[in-house]
């Protein structure tokens, strides 16, 4: 068999292993009709407690809340939008309606969201996670091959990255949509520093794809890493003169990437001017969280990590424990390889440390309040994987003299370094809470160290490159599978769609649900139930102003067409006491909460003939249920008109449009109790009208006497403008890629000739 054929057989075998890992994780769950996410915490929410499986132990943590209150409902909404063949621009289920696509973290344009649109929900989520794992492994493997690693040593880079905690323990997080493509940045940055400026096109394409999914914090971390790596790599290769040119092309490629993602970024900027997103993330990074590299938490039974550092650092344990081996042989290592890995490793660990020093200041910025040190840990699994592969490759190829010299250093470096690691791990163990697992927490560190020691010893006696690489890869695989236990992170589909009587009552009512403050943490939108609160944390400033007023005067919930109230006994005795005479009890839940019907609620669509008009300079008068609404525009009906309102008929209500038919004997204002937001347009008998805010948060439009068909449609200009920007950037990227391909083809032809 020829050497070339052997090489390709090894590559195909490695690709098969990279395909097998996500298959083993996802397919069994789908065959059991389960979703590969731990969503058992849904049963802790009071409305669904009667559907809870008492045999399953459920832990309520910040990560569980983040998944259940935000990201799972967003998955469901994407799936519902795909089923309805509608673009998910607007979510009418929460908070009188909130933007959806504009939030960015919803990942409406992510490549990994495509299965969620077109497949049944459980299969769509499973396929999405499968693609993330597969793409992450393939991208890491590709760049390792590009960096001249042999196929099995490239697998040492790919497996730890593919099995990072972000993919096994938190594949629902937006960072999991950014991370798979991250390895592709490294060859781009290296080429730019070497003067191959045409790689700006490939860099822009990668950044654009990453920007269409994910979140702003991850993209900021990626941008900072790219800039820092140019500096560090330029200084490490003694080419500081090339840094300015490389930075210039990096900025140009980055701007092209931003423009390529313009269809997502333009609506996001518009959202930032009109609302904000509540911080539901895990606690911020603490310095001792770095100990997760040596004392990683074991996450059995679908447990959630208590800190996001556990999503990244444990993947690098093998590479970190091999650091003394690298230090003992680095003087014999290939110069190019040595400079590359040390530049990547230095940047990967320098950035988190630097950001930790300025985190308090950066989080005061309105857009980056969720930016954490853990976002800057994204390069760690890849950098330590490269270190492990480089160390193993150089180790098995030492000649006798080099091996003797390396062993002379290793015999004191290895014990000293590992003893230091053990001391740090023991110190971290003592700082843990009394309920910790105790000495068992040292099992991953001790087991990994012993396995590495055996491999090092065996390779001294029998230095076989393929066996060495596969042995180290197996250690990484077993370690990470044991830590994250992804096979236990599943939920039966039957538990995701409970159908107690409450569900049908609320859904059939066709109105919104208000009431107890606990509703802020009860995600009802996946079950087709509208609510005035937003458990996902999306808040529009106008809706927030209305809700803060309604918290003090619950009668105002009537203005928002909230006829259903879910209250505790305390709520009925205190906040809602004044409404008791007109509340009709419908159902008492096992949790003690009571579902009531407000008999005097305002309709969702109504025509009013009187109002209180204000201007931008005037202050808001108090809201009144019985009094005329507050109007910030339009032409008020003439004085002396009919003060009573008249209900309008909602003919159709979709995600991005509401069709209303009206009939009036005099001019008036049609008020729709849905959130006012830039981008909503109104058409009265197919003629565009002027939309204005009513009662802080809702929409109003003037109508004349007679019968009319009024269409409210969400058509944001920001989306259209962003699309034009993205198309222009795509054309530039296409031209740049063609130029890059031609230059590489010409260079290959010259080299062949």
- Give me the average pLDDT of each 10-residue run along the chain (753 residues): 85 96 93 90 60 46 78 95 94 94 95 96 95 97 94 96 93 95 95 90 96 92 95 83 92 96 96 87 73 87 80 92 94 88 93 84 76 89 96 92 91 93 86 60 91 92 90 95 90 76 69 85 86 91 91 89 86 84 79 80 90 74 82 71 74 93 90 95 93 93 92 96 96 93 75 49
Give the C-alpha separation, 269 to 272, whole Å: 5
CA distance 713 to 719: 14
Question: In this structure, are residues 104 and 268 in contact, taking their beta carbons and an 8 Å threshold?
Answer: yes
| Separation CA 338–CA 491 (nearest Å) | 45
| CA angle (251 as vertex; 249, 254 as ends), nearest 5 | 105
Residue 219 CA to residue 222 CA, distance in Å, equals 5
The C-alpha torsion from 327 through 328 and 331 to 335, rounded to 10°, is -50
Q: Which helix (H) or strand (E) holds 684?
A: strand 680-684
**CA count, 13 A, side-chain hemisphere, 513:** 31
Q: How far apart are CA 661 and CA 727, in angstroms?
A: 38
Decide: 293 and 384 in contact? Cβ < 8 Å: no
DSSP-based three-state secondary structure for 397? coil
User: Hey, how many other C-beta atoms are within 10 angstroms of the C-beta on 537?
Assistant: 19
pTM metric for this prediction:
0.92
**DSSP three-state, residue 630:** strand
In the block, tokens 């802020």 appear at 520
- For 723, the enclosing helix (H) or strand (E) is helix 717-752
Tokens describing residue 185: 């940045």
Q: Which has the closest alpha carbon to 366: 442, 283, 467, 271? A: 271
User: For 621, which DSSP code?
Assistant: P
- The two three-digit tokens of residue 482, written as one number: 């044991």
DSSP for residue 603: P
Q: Please give the structure tokens belonging to residue 454.
A: 């055996």
The CA-atom distances, in angstroms, between 621 and each of 548, 718, 745 are 15, 32, 71
Name the residue among 582, 425, 594 with its Cα closest to residue 515: 594
The pLDDT of residue 299 is 86
- Residue 69 DSSP class: I
725 neighbors 749 (Cβ within 8 angstroms) = no
Coil, strand or helix at 672: strand
Q: CA-CA distance, 733 to 727, in Å (whole number)?
A: 10
Q: Counting beta carbons within 10 angstroms of the beta carbon of residue 578, is it exposed (0 to 12), middle (13 to 18) or buried (19 or more)?
A: exposed
Contact yes or no for 688/70 (Cβ under 8 A)? no
Q: Which residues, 6 or more positions from 747, have their beta carbon under 8 angstroms from its beta carbon?
A: none
Backbone angles phi, psi at 303, to 5 degrees: -65, 155
| Residues 6+ away with beta carbon under 8 Å from 431 | 288
Query: Is the Cβ–Cβ distance between 33 and 493 less than 8 Å?
Result: yes
Check if the beta carbon of residue 349 is closer than 8 Å to that of residue 377.
no
**What's the CA gap between 554 and 284, in Å, rounded?**
35
Rounded Cα distance, 358 and 752, in Å: 52
Whole-number Å distance between alpha carbons of 488 and 557: 42
Give the pLDDT score at 581: 83
Q: How far apart are CA 562 and CA 92, in angstroms?
A: 14
Where are any strands of DSSP class E within 252-354?
Answer: 275-277
Please give the pLDDT value at position 496.
79
- What SS3 class is residue 60? coil
Alpha-carbon span 193 to 253, nearest angstrom: 13
SS3 state at 98: strand
3-state secondary structure of 693: strand
Place of tokens 């994780």: 25
| pLDDT value of residue 515 | 87
Tokens read off for 706: 């007679």
| CB 594 within 8 Å of CB 572 | yes
Put residue 323 in one of left, alpha, beta given phi > 0 → left and psi -120 to 50 → alpha: alpha
SS3 501: helix
CB 476 within 8 A of CB 318: yes
User: Of 248, 122, 138, 259, nearest to 195 (Cα)?
Assistant: 248
| CB neighbourhood size of 720 (10 A) | 14
């Amino acid at each position: 068999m020829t050497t070339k054929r052997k090489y390709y057989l090894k590559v195909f075998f490695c690709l098969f292993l990279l395909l097998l890992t996500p298959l083993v994780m996802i397919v069994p769950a789908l065959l059991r009709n389960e979703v590969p996410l731990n969503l058992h915490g849904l049963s802790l929410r009071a409305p669904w407690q009667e559907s809870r499986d008492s045999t399953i132990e459920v832990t309520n943590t910040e990560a569980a809340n983040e998944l259940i209150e935000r990201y799972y409902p967003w998955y469901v909404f994407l799936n519902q939008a795909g089923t309805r063949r509608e673009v998910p621009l607007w979510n009418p289920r929460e908070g009188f309606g909130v933007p959806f696509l504009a939030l960015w973290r919803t990942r409406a344009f992510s490549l990994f969201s495509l299965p969620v649109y077109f497949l049944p929900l459980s299969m769509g989520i499973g396929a999405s996670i499968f693609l993330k794992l597969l793409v992450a492994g393939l991208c890491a493997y590709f760049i390792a091959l590009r960096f001249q690693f042999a196929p099995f040593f490239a697998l040492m880079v790919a497996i730890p990255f593919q099995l990072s905690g972000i993919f096994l323990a938190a594949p629902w997080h937006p960072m999991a949509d950014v991370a798979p493509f991250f390895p592709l940045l490294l060859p781009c940055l290296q080429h730019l520093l070497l003067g191959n400026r045409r790689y700006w096109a490939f860099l822009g394409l990668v950044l654009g794809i990453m920007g269409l999914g994910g979140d702003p914090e991850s993209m900021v971390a990626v941008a900072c890493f790219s800039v820092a790596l140019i500096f560090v790599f330029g200084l490490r290769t003694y080419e500081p003169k090339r840094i300015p040119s490389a930075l210039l092309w990096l900025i140009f490629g980055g701007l092209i990437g931003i423009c390529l993602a313009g269809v997502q970024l333009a609506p996001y900027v518009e959202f930032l001017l009109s609302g904000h997103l509540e911080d539901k993330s895990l606690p911020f990074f603490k310095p001792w969280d770095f100990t997760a590299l040596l004392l990683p938490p074991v996450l059995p039974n679908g447990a959630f990590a208590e800190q996001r550092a556990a999503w990244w650092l444990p993947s690098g344990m093998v590479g970190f424990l091999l650091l003394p081996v690298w230090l003992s042989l680095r003087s014999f290592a290939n110069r190019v390889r040595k400079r590359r890995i040390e530049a990547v490793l230095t940047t990967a660990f320098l950035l988190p440390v630097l950001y930790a020093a300025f985190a308090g200041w950066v989080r005061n910025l309105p857009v980056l309040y969720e930016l954490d040190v853990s976002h800057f840990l994204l390069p760690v699994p890849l950098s330590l994987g490269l270190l492990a592969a480089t160390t193993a490759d150089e180790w098995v190829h030492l000649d006798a003299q080099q091996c003797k010299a390396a062993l002379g250093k290793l015999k004191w470096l290895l014990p000293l370094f590992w003893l230091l690691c053990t001391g740090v791990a023991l110190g971290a163990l003592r700082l843990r809470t009394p309920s910790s697992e105790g000495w068992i927490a040292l099992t991953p560190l001790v087991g990994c160290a012993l396995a590495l020691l055996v491999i090092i010893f065996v390779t001294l006696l029998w230095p076989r490159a393929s066996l060495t690489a596969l042995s180290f890869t197996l250690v990484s695989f077993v370690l990470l599978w044991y830590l994250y236990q992804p096979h236990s992170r599943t939920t039966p589909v039957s538990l995701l769609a409970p159908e107690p009587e409450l569900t049908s009552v609320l859904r059939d009512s066709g109105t919104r649900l208000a009431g107890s403050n606990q509703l802020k943490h009860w995600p009802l939108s996946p079950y087709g139930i509208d609510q005035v609160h937003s458990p996902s944390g999306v808040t529009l400033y106008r809706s927030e102003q209305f809700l803060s007023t309604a918290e003090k005067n619950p009668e105002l919930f009537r203005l928002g067409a909230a006829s259903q109230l879910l209250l505790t006994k305390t709520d009925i005795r205190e906040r809602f006491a004044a409404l008791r005479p007109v509340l009709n009890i419908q159902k008492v839940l096992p949790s003690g909460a009571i579902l009531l019907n407000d008999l005097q609620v305002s309709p969702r669509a109504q025509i009013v003939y009187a109002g209180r008009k204000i201007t931008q300079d005037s202050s808001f008068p108090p809201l009144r249920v019985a009094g005329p609404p507050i109007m910030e525009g339009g032409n008020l009906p003439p004085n002396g008109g009919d003060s009573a309102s008249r209900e309008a008929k909602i003919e159709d209500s979709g995600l991005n449009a509401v069709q209303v038919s009206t009939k009036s004997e005099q001019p008036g204002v049609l008020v729709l109790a849905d959130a006012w937001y830039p981008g909503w347009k109104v058409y009265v008998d197919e003629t565009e009208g002027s939309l204005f805010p009513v009662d802080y948060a809702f929409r109003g439009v003037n109508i004349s006497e007679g019968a009319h068909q009024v269409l409210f449609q969400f058509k944001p200009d920001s989306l259209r403008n962003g699309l034009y920007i993205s198309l222009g950037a795509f054309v530039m990227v296409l031209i740049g890629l063609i130029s890059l391909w031609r230059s590489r083809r010409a260079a290959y032809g010259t080299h062949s000739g």
